[in-house]
Amino acid sequence: MRENRLRTLWAADRAAVNGWLAIPDSFSAEVMAHQGWDTLTIDMQHGVIDYAAMVRMLQAISTTATVPIVRVPWLEPGIIMKSLDAGAYGVICPMVNTREEAQRFVSYTSYAPRGSRSFGPVRASMYGGADYPSAANDTIVRFAMIETAQALDNLDAILSVEGLDAIYIGPSDLSLSLGCRPVFDDVDPKAAQAMDHIVERAIAHGVRAGVHNGRADVALARIAKGFRFVTVGSDARLLAAGSQSLLTEMRAGATA
């Protein structure tokens, strides 16, 4: 089966640099994939990407060695299984708040006898290889999002679920849940303390910790704290930032 380079990076205790895809277009996904990201996450929870666009974007990412990941809209078996059947090598599931929800998530992403995933890897077997059915359980990566006060209360129970590979912090939702400002980077002290606690407990359980960031300096600081999956920017934000930078330079020159 095709190597999941995310697992290879983690086996060497290296952090993966993840890009975020919010634009529902195969060409923009292909452009991003050719820049050298370790992984790219197609975001189906927020924004405007539907299933058909996701499939085309997975095909575009497949032109490179970048690992394709999908953030599904919710803990719902249908879309989780369809994302895997389409060739996602990792799934990020939002709002996992209890041990039972984490167990359901692992079950939906695993073939029997480990789980309840229905068999039908229509595109996944072409992407992963002929041995996909026998190797998928140990190849794909499962991220449960920890982003609420309830999840914090149940953190150790969630982290102890067998088969859960990683957790992913959404700083904005976590901050909101704790009564703080919804930001990625310069989070309020209460949210910062919670994030430190999450990564410490994840490491103690042997689960990899990921986090969403807006700036490279913040992502690097979080790697130093033990995070091994860091998202930095998205296609939409990079497009806007690049345009703003160029226009600012042009307009400053035009008025000089």
Active-site positions? 46
Cβ atoms of 110 and 137 closer than 8 Å: yes
Strand partners, 16: 229
Cβ atoms of 111 and 160 closer than 8 Å: no
Strand partners, 91: 70, 142
Measuring CA to CA, which residue among 3, 55, 47, 51 is closest to residue 21? Answer: 47
